[in-house]
Amino acid sequence: MRTSVFFISAVTLSLSLAACGSSLPPPSDRLASAEAAARSARELGAEKEPKAQLHLRLASEQIDQAKKLMADNDNKRADLILQRANADAELAVMLAKENNAKSDAEKAQEKLKNLKTGK
């Protein structure tokens, strides 16, 4: 009886140590990447375009959630959430760029129209 209790305790301890040893390091690089993408989206005016604004907000919320998970040492979930945050932030960047390109094209067309009419 005593031997089985000792054996069960030893197995439990070794499994616990194995679980601790296999934890991932904090995804600091992915966090920095997601934050940089979100900052780029803001600088490009993502808040002016509704779809870009939505994805920027999602990215910001996911970054905040990942920071909390990292503080709780749940780095695997934090890493997965930061992957989503980076994707949302990058999408916001692309949507903002598209919006800026459309705006520039409209201005160029208006300028061309004014040149043709002599204004």
List all residues 6 or more positions away from 97 whose beta carbon is below 8 Å from its beta carbon.
44
Q: What is the pLDDT of residues 4-36, one digit of tens each?
A: 655 566 556 555 544 554 478 999 999 999 999
Higher-confidence position of 49 and 119 = 49
Residue 37 lies inside a defined structural domain of this protein: yes
- Look up the domain containing 59 and give its range: 27-117
Answer for the pair 39, 90: CB distance below 8 angstroms, yes or no: no
- pTM (whole model) above 0.85: no
Dihedral, 57, 65, 88, 58 alpha carbons, nearest 10: -20
Q: What is the pLDDT of residue 11?
A: 56
Q: How many domains does the chain have?
A: 1
Say yes or no to pLDDT of 60 above 80: yes
In a domain, 81, yes or no: yes
Q: Is residue 2 part of a domain?
A: no
What is the residue-averaged pLDDT of the chain?
A: 88
Please report how the helices 75-117 and 50-71 are oriented relative to each other, as an axis angle in degrees rounded to 10: 160
